[in-house]
Amino acid sequence: MSAAPAPRPDTEGPGEAGPEGTRAATTLEVHGGVRVIGGTKVLVSTPRARVLLDIGEDIPSGVDLLRDPTRSRPRQALADALRLGAAPRIPGLFDPRALEAVGPGAEQLRVLADPDPRPTLVVLSHAHIDHDGLLPHLREDVRVLAHADTIALHRALEEAGATAPGTADRLEPLAEGTEVVVGDLSVRIHRVDHDVRGAVGTLVRAPDGVLAYTGDINLHRDGGTHTRAFLEQAHGADVLVAETTMLSFDPLPEEPRSEDEVARIVAETLAGSTDLMLLSAYERDVDRAARLIRAATQAGRTLVWPGVHAAVLAALGIGGVVTWDPTRPQGRRQRRAGELAVSRGARTTGLAEVAAAPGRFLVQIDPRDFASLLDLPLGEGSAWIHSQGEPLGPFMPDWPLWQDWLEHLGLATIPAGSSGHAGPAALHEIVGAVAPGRVIALHGFHPERLQVEGIPTLLPEIDVSIPLRPGAGRSAR
């Protein structure tokens, strides 16, 4: 089946209520995640309400004009991003103060500051920056809903200094399966398996149909039990908005390994060396971190985290967290976070202990402080275990620098990760299980590769309105 172009809506678009007794069609607009990995944003609109699925930072699809060493200006981050086409032009969504700018294009930004008469609800699928990164710029009267675990993670990250302050407080918890009504739309979330606690799939019920949104999703983590339960709830939706991350690569990757397999590789690697070992793991994946702590303990090693990692893990109740004592020089942010971690029950260790028995330790690197590797007693059998932490991969700007450090230190790399995204076969299984009327493929370089017999795949463009029901019109049916 060939991919169909996004059909043009036959309505005049949202914002104008139909005459009494008629019902305007629900429309969808995609504002991110088009042929890039990440940044999905889908606006569902009726004349009476709006629901925005995710509000992450855009992933640059071409040249990133704000890459290091350039930074967007603190109070103009959103205005700069909008003028570069790197943020969604959704009217009545953003704080008017964040839209203030001077010079060319400033007037168009001011137009976005006009309030929309309809209530707007934002629903977060999970706590990753490409899904929640624009939160600090939202209008105060826009409600933002998320799973309680997402809010807890946000709070832990904020307190550790790992993300902008003030966002956790504006998130409202939404219990799994509970319906929230906004105008003539209603929203439900259901847990899915990804690589972060609190990840959900979302169902939006409109007067003329149902939309299901996967968020970021997989079937290989812990058996995919949460995901499968969501797919049952989503069965028969008119539209499924699906991520397609793992269809992006050539050749197509194999299905990702399970968390048990990750733990087994780490355990074997640690058992095979008597030297100090290094790790990079992702602090937001606290369940993986807990498994890595256990794997290290079983191998007779202590896993030592930088302060920020330790503070996040301790705040979320992970046991056995160890961070550095003041004998290891760390930057101010790491040191403060480390003190916070200790106040929450983390233990500390020092450079002398590590120097006395390097083979009894596994040390998480601080990707912003490679020079601190010079403090560590690395040996011939030392290696770097890469389990999704930063630098994430060759597509990251700090990857070549890290490779230079590895070469300088003579360290081998042990891949011990597993993606949080469904493999190619699992993605097709997900679409087949939902059996939607149509699938909107996003969040990948090759969304056109998501093809399931009998289910049309839509490849939307940014900002183009799509009716929830094909051929839906203004009059009641």
Interaction of residue 38 with Zn ion, rule CB under 5 A: yes
Q: Name the one range near Zn ion by CB under 5 A: 34-42, 203-211, 432-440, 455-463.
A: 34-42
58 vs 130 by CB, closer to Zn ion? 130
- The answer to whether 265 and 416 have CB atoms below 8 angstroms apart is yes
Using CA atoms, how far apart are residues 105 and 80, in angstroms rounded to an integer? 10
| Residue 130 beta carbon to Zn ion: minimum distance, rounded to whole angstroms | 5
Q: What are the two backbone dihedrals, phi and then psi, of residue 439, each rounded to the nearest 5 degrees?
A: -120, 135
Q: Name the one range near Zn ion by CB under 5 A: 20-28, 47-55, 98-106, 127-135.
A: 127-135
Instruction: Count other Cβ atoms within 10 Å, centred on residue 393.
Output: 10
Q: Name the one range near Zn ion by CB under 5 A: 43-51, 95-103, 122-130, 398-406.
A: 122-130
Interaction of residue 32 with Zn ion, rule CB under 5 A: no
| Residue 214 beta carbon to Zn ion: minimum distance, rounded to whole angstroms | 10
Interaction of residue 130 with Zn ion, rule CB under 5 A: yes
38 vs 424 by CB, closer to Zn ion? 38
How open is the CA angle 225-231-235, to the nearest 5 degrees?
150
- Looking at residue 426, its amino acid is A
Using CA atoms, how far apart are residues 25 and 476, in angstroms rounded to an integer? 9
Instruction: Count other Cβ atoms within 10 Å, centred on residue 119.
Output: 16
Q: For the segment 61-100, give every residue that binds Zn ion (CB under 5 A).
A: none
Q: What are the two backbone dihedrals, phi and then psi, of residue 443, each rounded to the nearest 5 degrees?
A: 60, 50
130 vs 366 by CB, closer to Zn ion? 130
Structure tokens at 93: 């969504």
196 vs 289 by CB, closer to Zn ion? 196
| Residue 55 beta carbon to Zn ion: minimum distance, rounded to whole angstroms | 12
- The answer to whether 365 and 413 have CB atoms below 8 angstroms apart is no
Pairing of strands 41-45, 27-32: antiparallel
Using CA atoms, how far apart are residues 359 and 379, in angstroms rounded to an integer? 9
Q: Name the one range near Zn ion by CB under 5 A: 209-217, 249-257, 280-288, 417-425.
A: 209-217
Q: Name the one range near Zn ion by CB under 5 A: 61-69, 178-186, 212-220, 386-394.
A: 212-220
Using CA atoms, how far apart are residues 297 and 282, in angstroms rounded to an integer? 19
For residue 380, the SS3 value is: coil
Interaction of residue 216 with Zn ion, rule CB under 5 A: yes
42 vs 342 by CB, closer to Zn ion? 42
| Residue 391 beta carbon to Zn ion: minimum distance, rounded to whole angstroms | 18
| Residue 171 beta carbon to Zn ion: minimum distance, rounded to whole angstroms | 18
Q: For the segment 348-377, give every residue that binds Zn ion (CB under 5 A).
A: none
Residue written as tokens 């914002």?
Answer: 15
- The answer to whether 268 and 296 have CB atoms below 8 angstroms apart is no
245 vs 273 by CB, closer to Zn ion? 245
| Residue 40 beta carbon to Zn ion: minimum distance, rounded to whole angstroms | 7
Question: 448: burial class by Cβ within 10 Å (0-12, 13-18, 19+)?
Answer: middle
33 vs 47 by CB, closer to Zn ion? 33
Among candidate residues 28, 118, 22, 50, the one with its CA nearest the CA of residue 474: 22
Q: Name the one range near Zn ion by CB under 5 A: 129-137, 143-151, 178-186, 392-400.
A: 129-137
Q: What are the two backbone dihedrals, phi and then psi, of residue 13, each rounded to the nearest 5 degrees?
A: 90, 170
| Residue 247 beta carbon to Zn ion: minimum distance, rounded to whole angstroms | 14
| Residue 278 beta carbon to Zn ion: minimum distance, rounded to whole angstroms | 27
Q: Backbone dihedral region of 302: left (phi > 0), alpha (psi from -120 to 50 degrees) or beta?
A: beta
14 vs 38 by CB, closer to Zn ion? 38
Interaction of residue 29 with Zn ion, rule CB under 5 A: no
Q: Name the one range near Zn ion by CB under 5 A: 38-46, 116-124, 310-318, 403-411.
A: 38-46
174 vs 442 by CB, closer to Zn ion? 442
Using CA atoms, how far apart are residues 215 and 210, in angstroms rounded to an integer? 16
322 vs 442 by CB, closer to Zn ion? 442
Residues that bind Zn ion (CB under 5 A): 38, 130, 216
